[in-house]
Amino acid sequence: MSTAKTRIRKFCLIALFLVPCLLLAAWFHYGYGPAHRLNGPRLVYWAWDRPEDLRFLDPKREALAFLASSVELLPDSVQVQPRMQPLYAPPGIQLVAVVRVFAHADKPAALDARQISGTLQALLAATREPAVTALQIDFDARASDRAFYSQLLRELRRRLGPAYPISITARASWCIGDRWIRDLPVNEAVPMLFSMGADEALIRNYLSSTGTLPEPLCRGSLGISTGEWWPNPVRSRTRVYVFHQGPWTREAVADIRARIHRGM
């Protein structure tokens, strides 16, 4: 009997030691595990479809994600609109080509093989833009679009190969409860922490209390906008994409730099 009690006592002592260690390891992995993000400078400026002169950016510390084209999914066709506005960037800066994909709720797209093929061709064309080294897809996919989007991304990965950097933008909700993106073949999902609509208060409270997002794809980067709420603090290894409502100016860039360097 005493032998059995001794064994139980030893088991309890081992459990008391192991459980906190396991919890600590899980906490460390959850909050500080490998970040899913594209390689390159931490600070990235989004240049949308307007004339932009960003030759004053620092290629060693900053990158540029520019709208290369827009893909409109119609009921029976795909319309591709290439960038029509001039863009000036400094030599040697990391360039990420962004392709915006969108559909209309009142005119549901076919989402068939032809539309996958047409969208795929636009994405591949963006990767062939001069000096482009990575691709980002901006698609606010509804639930009915997700099977199409998943298939599109799988085919894109097959065509580009395992090494090509692929980024997608993501609703913040996709990174918390509605984590349907977890198995997508991409390098990062950028949670869009602006223009969040009815979810804004919930997302802000969640980030204020936890400081991180459950979905690993979303932990290495984030998207913010000038003139709107920014999470504070942002980890030093997080890749920050910044949107500006108007054309970028030296003053706007200087303000972003100052906020990033002081921890936002």
Which strand (E) or helix (H) includes residue 10? helix 2-32
pLDDT-derived band at 2, boundaries 50, 70, 90: low
Which strand (E) or helix (H) includes residue 115? helix 113-127
pLDDT-derived band at 8, boundaries 50, 70, 90: low
CA dist 124 and 112 (Å) reads: 18
Domain span holding position 5: 1-33
Between 264 and 53, residue with greater pLDDT: 53
Kindly state whether residues 137 and 222 are assigned to the same domain.
yes
At 215, which CATH number?
3.20.20.80
Predicted TM-score (pTM) of this structure: 0.85
Kindly state whether residues 29 and 94 are assigned to the same domain.
no
The residue type found at 69 is: S
Kindly state whether residues 12 and 57 are assigned to the same domain.
no
Name the percent of the chain lying above pLDDT 90. 69
Tens digit of each residue's pLDDT (9 = 90 or more) over 191-224: 999 888 777 888 888 887 777 888 999 999 999 9
CA dist 203 and 196 (Å) reads: 8
Kindly state whether residues 81 and 1 are assigned to the same domain.
no
CA dist 245 and 195 (Å) reads: 12
DSSP helix/strand/coil, 3: helix
The residue type found at 127 is: T
- Strands (E) in the chain, as ranges, are 43-47, 52-53, 62-73, 78-82, 87-88, 94-103, 132-139, 166-171, 188-192, 221-225, 239-243
Residue 157 CB partners (closer than 8 Å, separation 6+): 166, 185, 186
Kindly state whether residues 6 and 94 are assigned to the same domain.
no
Kindly state whether residues 189 and 78 are assigned to the same domain.
yes
Tens digit of each residue's pLDDT (9 = 90 or more) over 111-168: 999 999 999 999 999 999 999 999 999 999 999 999 999 999 999 999 999 999 999 9
Residues found in the chain:
264
Kindly state whether residues 2 and 17 are assigned to the same domain.
yes
CA dist 49 and 32 (Å) reads: 36
Per-residue pLDDT, averaged over 35-40, amounts to: 85
Residue located via tokens 């000038």: 226
CB of 167 closer than 8 Å to CB of 137: yes
Per-residue pLDDT, averaged over 14-34, amounts to: 41
Kindly state whether residues 247 and 128 are assigned to the same domain.
yes
Measured from the Cβ of residue 192, the count of other Cβ atoms closer than 10 Å reads 22
Kindly state whether residues 128 and 142 are assigned to the same domain.
yes
CA dist 215 and 178 (Å) reads: 9
CA dist 229 and 219 (Å) reads: 18
CB of 168 closer than 8 Å to CB of 141: no
Residue located via tokens 């990158």: 63
Task: Return the axis-axis angle of helices 113-127 and 146-160, rounded to nearest 10°.
Answer: 50
Kindly state whether residues 27 and 43 are assigned to the same domain.
no
Tokens of 189: 């999902």
Kindly state whether residues 122 and 247 are assigned to the same domain.
yes
Kindly state whether residues 1 and 106 are assigned to the same domain.
no
Number of domains observed in the structure of the chain: 2
Produce one character per residue of 114-123: b if its CB has 16 or more CB atoms within 10 Å, e if not: ebbeebbebb
